[in-house]
Amino acid sequence: MTQIRPVRDTDAEDMAEVQNAIHRAGLRSSPVDVALIRERYLDPNHRVACTVAEQDGQVVGFQSLKTAWPDNPYGVAPGWGIIGTHIHPDAGRSGLGRRLFAVSLAAAQAAGLKHIDATIGADNEPGLAYYSAMGFVPYRDLDDAIAYRLDL
């Protein structure tokens, strides 16, 4: 059974492995290390929610929702939400993304967010399909990615 729960500091190594498995599958441009996971997802600055999917004591996916800040590296308007979803390829297509998004959506609404950005690699077909299924629509093209938005 998969448990959906808030992130813990001790999840960093498993979260890095999820992203590195995505990289090995050709759906992420570069590998990550634990320090990057701690900086991007475990640092509470701008965090609205960070939720993990855990199976048999191991994180197999996670979703992060932050509030965009001025001059953020994603080019997202300050005050918008920035969401990222990361599911281990072996756990894909199992409903985990939908379950994680239910938590993030509730957190976004509670935080008063009006828009959420999801920027996905243009060649990441599963990611593009996922965000479309969650109700996001494309709103800007980038060099190698497509930015999707959800209006709340």
Mean of the pLDDT values across residues 61-71?
A: 96
Q: Is the pLDDT score of 92 beyond 80?
A: no
pLDDT band, residue 73 (cuts 50/70/90): confident
pLDDT band, residue 151 (cuts 50/70/90): very high
> Highest mean pLDDT: which of 20-29, 59-68, 123-132?
59-68
pLDDT at 105: 98
**In Å, how far from its chain's centre is CA 152?**
17
Mention every residue, 6+ apart, whose C-beta is less than 8 A from residue 66. 46, 47, 48, 81, 82
Per-residue pLDDT reduced to its tens digit, 109-123: 999 999 999 999 888
pLDDT at 86: 95
pTM of the model: 0.94
Per-residue pLDDT reduced to its tens digit, 24-47: 998 888 999 999 999 999 998 999
Is 2-151 a domain of CATH 3.40.630.30?
yes
Which sequence spans correspond to the domains of the chain? 2-151
pLDDT at 17: 97
* Helices within the chain (DSSP H only): 12-24, 34-37, 96-111, 125-133
